[in-house]
A = this chain, B = another copy of it.
Amino acid sequence: MKSIKVGLLGIGTVGSGTYAVLKRNQDLISGRAGRRIDIVMVAARNVARARTIINDSAIEVVADAMAVVNHPDIDVVVEVIGGCTLARELVLQAIAKGKHVVTANKALLAMHGAEIFAAAEKQGVMVAFEGAVAVSIPIIKALREGLAGNRIEWIAGIINGTTNFILSEMRDRGCSFDDALHEAQRLGYAEADPSFDIEGIDAAHKLAIMAAIAFGCHIQFDKIHVEGIRQLQGVDIAYAESMGYRIKLLGIAKRTSAGIEAHVHPTLIPAKRLLANVDGSMNGIMVKSDAAGVTMYYGAGAGSEQTASAVIADLVDIARVASADPTHRVPYLGFRSNAISATALLPITDISASYYLRLRVADQLGVLADVTAILAELGISIEAMMQKEPAADEQQTDIIIVTHHTKEQHIQTAVAAIEGLPTVTGKLVMLRMENLLD
């Protein structure tokens, strides 16, 4: 049978992993795909360096990525150069040339997915992106195909390995955020400029894609409320622990009677949930759906061959089903384009959750009465409260309040009011909680 001819754009971490795994497992892969999948051209900025990786004279290595995209022999373009500008141009040109595309570029899809999928639909080509979310875990396939019979209710995912590693270190070693970040950088889990990861942007890219697939809405990266972990303090990890919770950076997407929510932030979850025990740089995604119930998916969220696993799965998919009628093939975002709703994500003030509040108060009579009066007035009911004895040399102490489910708007009003009390010092710490049950 005719082999699939692949043009690989980029030979960095993911590109070199894809080349290596395809080569190593070629027999297995062609036994599964029914034909060979051959990389025939590679584009790399530094051709000489690329040649040291591509040890196969039958593969043409060029500096001009557009030459690969435009080459008439190429059936599928694999875009693993990253970034949004050149990658967007290359992907759109590949589609215009009638080629299928595989990409692991979550930022590209979060920002330009709508444009890319519309162009691909017009051309009848596949755009596959399993590597864009939680690379080793076939979560796109699970959401788009495995759970296709379900009304998905919510997704809660640890979808950034860097931040999960940092949070695991802070908890296990009781160290500060800065110390944990340095350790992550030393071990290669965090980049020199870690902003994208620790500020939650990377997780939000992935969540934007998953939310669209789960709920049949457009990708709305710009509407996702994002908080990272830079401000998170060890003391809150410890208080959470003492109450039976772990703090994880979660991407949460949920369909409620009010609408569709999607937000990324540090979240308290019960320590006994499997998701709470996804440690180090690993990823884990829980999905609650109406028929299947809770399912969970676990694996590495980054890495050269881990991402290659997803890229090659997409190539095998193309080899297997590209011949299907384009109007019936698995839709890019799980739903046929005419079935995608225009529903906008809810603003964060309109979501509901339980909340963890920590306030620093003067150790004197009446403080608690003032605080609880504010909460009561806003209709916020308290599930649990913990007041620490002040240390011997201190006049102040911490109060921890855990609320019942309430609207975020009320919490934000309450936080401002409580911070205005003369007996309360500094800013409150407010963290969201999820029980991951219902």
Interface, chain A (partner B; CB < 8 A):
1, 17, 21-22, 24-25, 28-35, 130, 135-138, 141-142, 144-151, 216, 274, 277-278, 289-300, 303, 305-306, 308-313, 315-317, 319-325, 327-331, 334-336, 339
Contact = CB atoms under 8 A, between A and B. Distances in A.
A335 to B, nearest CB: 5
A294 B282 CA distance: 10
Q: Can you list the 5 inter-chain pairs with the closest CB atoms, starting with the nearest?
A: A138-B146, A149-B312, A31-B339, A295-B299, A324-B324
A21 B149 contact: yes
11 contacts: A29-B148, A32-B335, A34-B328, A149-B308, A291-B308, A292-B309, A293-B303, A295-B298, A321-B324, A321-B330, A323-B325
Contacts of A291: 17, 21, 25, 136, 305-306, 308-309, 312
A232 to B, nearest CB: 24
Contacts of A335: 31-32
A274 B282 CA distance: 12
B316 A145 contact: yes
A289 B299 CA distance: 11
Contacts of A29: 148-149
B293 A296 contact: no
Contacts of A278: 274
A141 B145 contact: yes
Best-surrounded residue of A138, A147, A331, A336 (most CB of chain B within 10 A): A138
B336 A31 contact: yes
Contact of A32 (B1, B17, B321, B336): B336
Contact of A313 (B148, B296, B297): B148
A52 to B, nearest CB: 21
Nearest to A329: B320
A320 B328 contact: yes
Given A291-B21, A323-B328, A146 B141 contact: yes
A287 to B, nearest CB: 9
Best-surrounded residue of A24, A297, A303 (most CB of chain B within 10 A): A297
A136 B293 contact: yes
Contact of A148 (B1, B35, B316, B329): B316
Contacts of A298: 274, 294-298
Given A141-B141, A141-B146, A216 B31 contact: yes
A336 B320 CA distance: 11
Given A25-B290, A32-B336, A290-B305, 18 more contacts: A17-B291, A32-B334, A34-B328, A34-B331, A34-B336, A136-B292, A138-B142, A142-B146, A145-B313, A149-B308, A274-B278, A277-B277, A292-B299, A292-B306, A293-B303, A294-B300, A296-B298, A321-B324
